[in-house]
Each structure stands twice: as C-alpha cells, then as structure tokens.
Amino acid sequence: MKLSTTEREIIESSIRDIKDFPKPGIVFKDITTLLNNKEAFGVLMNHLYLKYKDYDLDYVAGIDARGFIFGAALAQMLGIGFVPIRKKGKLPYTTISQKYSLEYGFDEIEIHIDAFGLNGGAKVLLVDDLIATGGTAIAAAELINQAGAKCVEACFIIGLSFLDGQRKLQDITTVYSLVEIN
C-alpha cells in the first residue's frame, strides 16, 4: 500500500528541515512539526493503520524515543500491545540487550525478557521515525528475534535511501519507508 500523491505532500510538507543540526553539514528531519499538525499526523496514522490492519500482528515495537510516539499510537489503533525498545539502563525489569556500532563507538538497546510473552512466535512490527545508517534498527530487529518473536517488518516515516541502512536491514526483515529521501 502506497501513499497517494496528496497524502505524501501533506506528510512531506509537515516535516521541517533544520540545517547544520546536530553538526555542520547535516540536514536534520524534524518530525515535531508533523506531530503538531493534526491533519498530517492523522493522514500518517490512518495510512499506517490501513497498511498493517491485516498483518495479524501481535505487537508493535517502537525504538527509543520517537518510535514510541508512532508505535504506541499504531498499536492502540490495531488493538494490540506496544513494546518499547529502550537505551541500556532505562528498563526496570530483567532485560536482554543488543549492541550496535555508532560512528564513534558502540551503543546498546534492550527490552524486557518477557516483552513478547513466554510462548514465543509473536509477530512484531518495528517502528521508528527515521532510518539512516541502520545500526539501531538492525539491532532492534535482531533483539526482537532474539526474544523469541519474529520481526515481520520494519516501518519508518522517513528513509534516507542515500545511506545503506535500509538495504542492510532487508537482510533481516522487510522494510517500509513512507517518505524516501535520496
């Protein structure tokens, strides 16, 4: 399911570019302007609901922190549970974790050990706002699978296709980005 031309224009026009943030040469895609635009946010969430309503999902997992916004809203619309994937040290119960590479070092994300139930085999949609180099998203998909669930697809509002993240993540799961930036 693809966005219509009108839907794409509504969503794209609601995302603000911030030049030289967080450092010179970077153009940051600011989704706060999408969130506070009720029409754009409604179009986005309705599109995601229609796309995923027949996937027979058990959970939506969102990556810390902007993935929480879209993921939790979508999980509620689909009538299923939401699982937060957090940065290390933020969850209060027993966790499992996955390390991933950054430009200058490593980071780590984690979920509760029982996030997807104890029986295994849960079908999970991974959601975040943007995929760039893919390190966090790949670690999140691997973490979902490590927890005994199946990451059936990874969904991003924005995909930076001039970077390798989406291609690398496709080795683990199907990837869907609403807005592609070349």
- The residue type at 43: V
Kindly name the residue from 66, 86, 167, 180 that is annotated as catalytic: 66
Instruction: Judge whether 124 and 155 are in contact, CB under 8 Å.
Output: no
Q: Is 16 a catalytic residue?
A: no
E strand spans, 4-137: 16-19, 27-30, 59-63, 81-87, 95-102, 105-112, 123-131
Residue 24: CB atoms within 10 A of its CB come to 7
Kindly name the residue from 103, 142, 153, 180 that is annotated as catalytic: 103
Distance CA 28, CA 169 (A): 22
Q: Is 103 a catalytic residue?
A: yes
> Distance of alpha carbon 84 from its chain centroid, rounded?
11
**Which residues have a catalytic role annotated?**
66, 103
